[in-house]
Amino acid sequence: MPHLDIYWATPAVFWPDSEAWLAAQKRELQATASAAQMDVHILSPIDTALEQKCCVDESIFLSNVAMIQQAACVIADVSPFRGLEPDVGTALQIGIATQMGKTVYLYSKHAEQSLQAAYQAQMNADGYVMFDGKPTQVEDFGHPVNLMLMHDMDGNTRKVYTSLQAAFAQVLSDLGKSD
C-alpha cells in the first residue's frame, strides 16, 4: 500500500481548541483511508508550530510551502472566515498548490451558496456593497468563492464539497483510480 501525503489548508489553526480538533479530524481521516486500504498522512499548517514550538512567521510560511510541495494533493477549507470570504492564508496556499500543478479539493460549509447571495443583505439598491466608503461590485459567477479559487491551471472548474469528509472521500476515490 503506497504512502501518500495530503496537505490540509485550513484556518481552523486559529481556533482556541485547534490542536485537539485538528488531531481528531486527522485521526478520523486516516481511519477512513485505512479502511480503504490507503496509507495517507495528513499535513496541516499547525504541524510547523507544533513541531518547531515556534511562531516565527518566515519559518511557518516556508514549512507550509514545503509541505504543499511534498503533498500529492491539497484539501482546502474555503468556508467564510472573519467575514464572508475564505481565509487569505488558505487562499494563498490554494494559489501556491495550483501553481505547483497540485490537484486542489475545496470544501465549505456554505458550498451551496453563491458569493453574490452571501453578500445580498449588504447590497445597496444599485447592487453594490460598500467597502471603505466606495461602492464595490460582487462577482456573480454562481460560485461560493472568488473565481480565482475555482479553477486549476488547465481551466477546469473545481467542485466545492460540503464538508471535509466529502472532499476527502473524493480524494480517496481519485487516488484509488490512479493506482
Q: What integer is the mean pLDDT of 1-9? A: 89
Measuring CA to CA, which residue among 65, 64, 72 is closest to residue 4?
72
Q: Per-residue confidence at 178, pLDDT binned at 50, 70, 90?
A: low
Query: DSSP 3-state assignment of 139?
Result: coil
Q: What is the mean pLDDT of residues 12-37?
A: 93
What does the pLDDT read at residue 1? 67
| Reported confidence tier of residue 59, pLDDT bands at 50, 70, 90 | confident
Based on its alpha-carbon atoms, the radius of gyration of the chain, rounded to whole angstroms, reads 17
How, if at all, do strands 3-9 and 73-77 pair? Answer: parallel
pLDDT band per the 50, 70, 90 thresholds, residue 57? confident
Q: How far is it, in rounded angstroms, from Cα 68 to Cα 104?
A: 11
Query: How many other β-carbons are positioned within 10 Å of the β-carbon of residue 47?
Result: 19
Q: Residue 86: which region, alpha, beta or left (left: phi > 0; alpha: psi -120 to 50)?
A: beta
| Mean pLDDT, residues 9-14 taken together | 93
pLDDT at 107 over 60: yes
Identity (one letter) of the amino acid at 173? S
Least-confidence region, from 58-62, 66-70, 92-96, 133-137: 58-62
pLDDT tens for each residue of 22-33: 999 999 999 999
Residue type, 130: M
Among 27-36, 54-63, 142-151, whose mean pLDDT is lowest? 54-63
- The better pLDDT of the pair 169, 179 is held by 169
CATH architecture of the domain formed by 3-112+145-177: 3-Layer(aba) Sandwich (3.40)
Closest C-alpha among 92, 38, 36 to residue 65: 92
Tell me the helix, strand and coil percentages in the chain, rounded to 5. 45, 20, 35
Beta strands in the chain (DSSP E): 3-9, 39-43, 73-77, 103-107, 129-131, 134-136, 160-161
pTM of the model: 0.92
Phi/psi of residue 17, each to 5°?
Answer: -105, 25
pLDDT of residue 103: 97
Picking from 77, 103, 80, the residue whose alpha carbon sits closest to that of residue 161 is 77
Q: Residue 91: in which H helix or E strand, if any?
A: helix 88-99
Residue 154: count other Cβ atoms within 10 Å of its Cβ: 6
What is the residue-averaged pLDDT of the chain?
A: 91
pLDDT digits (tens, 9 = 90+) for 83-106: 999 999 999 999 999 999 999 999
